[in-house]
Amino acid sequence: MSIKQVDAAVAARINTWLEGGFDAGTKAAIRKMLDEKQYEELTDAFYRDLEFGTGGLRGIMGHGTNRVNKYTIGMATQGLSNYLKKVYPNEQISVVIAHDNRNNGVELARVTAGVFSANGIRVYFFDALRPTPELSYAIRELNCHSGVMLTASHNPREYNGYKAYWRDGGQVIAPHDKNIIAEVGRVDSISKVKFDAVDDNISMIGAEIDARYIERIKQELVRPEVIRRNPDLNIVFSPIHGAGVKLIPDALKSAGFTNVNLVEEQCVTDGDFPTVVYPNPEEEEAMTLSLRKAGATGADLVMATDPDCDRVGVAVKGPDGRYMLLNGNQTGSLLIHYLLQAWQEQGRLTGSEYVVKTIVTTGMIDKIAASMDVTCYNVLTGFKYIGALMTQLEGKERFIGGGEESYGYLIGEHVRDKDAVVSCLLIAEMAAYYKSQGKSLYDALISLYLEYGLYREKLVSLTKKGKAGAEEIRAMMDNFRNRPPAELGGEKIELVRDYLSGIEKNRTRGTETKLGFPASNVLQFITGSGSVISARPSGTEPKIKFYISVNSHITGADALAQANDELDRLIGKITDDLGG
């Protein structure tokens, strides 16, 4: 066994784990990696501490400082405990803990509960896997100070993660995010972690919260009468092995839908995700079994949720009878239009209502809101910013709905995170509404294009793994920032928005203005025709992401195919220019 083939700093970290108070199984696994000369894997596992970012932890499960395991989770929980006790020194602090179907999720949730309880914190612990939005709801419903969700969302099977929430039910934001990061950083040894659980401080919760949550989200239905008239809407649903199996079938049934066909193979809770390559409803491959079920049953609507059930993918019948997958921008536009139209028809718009989207989400939503005199706020990428705005405006303005292009939506103020459970209810109600008018969701989408313009979007993700990959992503962003392109796809760039410096440069006028957003490592290039190209490193995966949005005007449905082809060619040119 030799450790000389790795960097000295990495070797020192490995020795700390081999000689410190870590369990025998962990030490044996590290020695085995050394014996098998897995030096590249060891370097990646130990070259840094797994970063506790503004949303918590996410990474590959395994042994090492840069891996998700009971020690990195324990240290994060100790840091969060220390911070909670500083912020609330004279209160009995309480938290909620939940997990999804990820491998080791139950064990890591127990470690989290144990550390909180050992620090004198009251823990409400869900008795089995639950959706992330229900955790957010439970924090608010039980008047807790914080919460933790053990999940890696839609990442591949080897990942797990730790999402920290604050007492409003939203993911932690400034100033708490940086303060928690600092406290976690001070827990520089496992000897500082209180691992010995105090069982009296842990209470199990489950069915009673489920029932209250379902009753609450049913209040967001805007046309419940269409469900009563069309209870047999043919729905196919898949949880893709995740937490959606726990609530969505029950919620649809409680709302009045009687014809919900489950993709049984994917209703099996399994962190190995045996039927898919990636458990991500954005991926067509992950929807294969759902679409097969839809074809066999003649479904009106297909829905599938990601492992922690905060995002939903949708498929509908196209004009040729084949099922087509909607992207996140299309579903979001349909939902916002449906909600605002219903509120307008029912006389519920008073001037104080608003919707929210992220800066990389389709501009069609801005147009829809403007057409009905409803404010549309834009926030940085990440649903935590939508939740933070909702908390800021609570009691002053009325939130109707919001979303982001990555298939996450929220209707109503019951939580502060994206919620696939309430989204599935409203998407199903929306499908029933249009069916009652002899239309499909595809027909409704074409109507939006004719009224607001044809929008075409594409996400280009470049994966760059490991230490070298992180450095390459950093270099790419530096190059775009210091030498921004003059044009993309043959279109001249008129505006350059740098959300890190907070400056928008208008190249035509030669002026600079402040953006008014918190600093974020995002760049946007806007052309004269209204194309928007955004670049940002992923906060949860080893990727750099390019969001491309182009649009054009069409005069009739017969012009759709040609316009789509033209926009796709433009997207292709832009992608080539970006090096994607």
Enumerate the active-site residues.
153
| Sole residue written with tokens 């594409």 | 458
**Backbone dihedral angles phi then psi of residue 356, each to the nearest 5 degrees:** -135, 145
As a whole number of angstroms, the distance between CA 426 and CA 432 comes to 10
Q: Distances from the Cα of 377 to the Cαs of 342, 380, 413, 444, in angstroms? A: 20, 10, 16, 24
| Sole residue written with tokens 């299309």 | 330
| Sole residue written with tokens 């989770």 | 73
As a whole number of angstroms, the distance between CA 522 and CA 155 comes to 22
**Backbone dihedral angles phi then psi of residue 319, each to the nearest 5 degrees:** -65, -20
348 close to 283: Cβ distance less than 8 angstroms: no
* DSSP-assigned beta bridge partners for residue 504: 497, 513
Q: Is 107 left (phi over 0), alpha (psi -120 to 50) or beta?
A: alpha
Q: Distances from the Cα of 223 to the Cαs of 101, 117, 139, in angstroms? A: 33, 44, 29
Q: Give every CB contact of residue 74 below 8 A, 6+ residues apart in sequence.
A: 111, 112, 115, 190, 193, 195
Burial of 35 (C-beta count, 10 Å sphere; 0-12/13-18/19+): exposed
Query: Peptide bond before 175: cis, by omega within 30 degrees of 0?
Result: yes
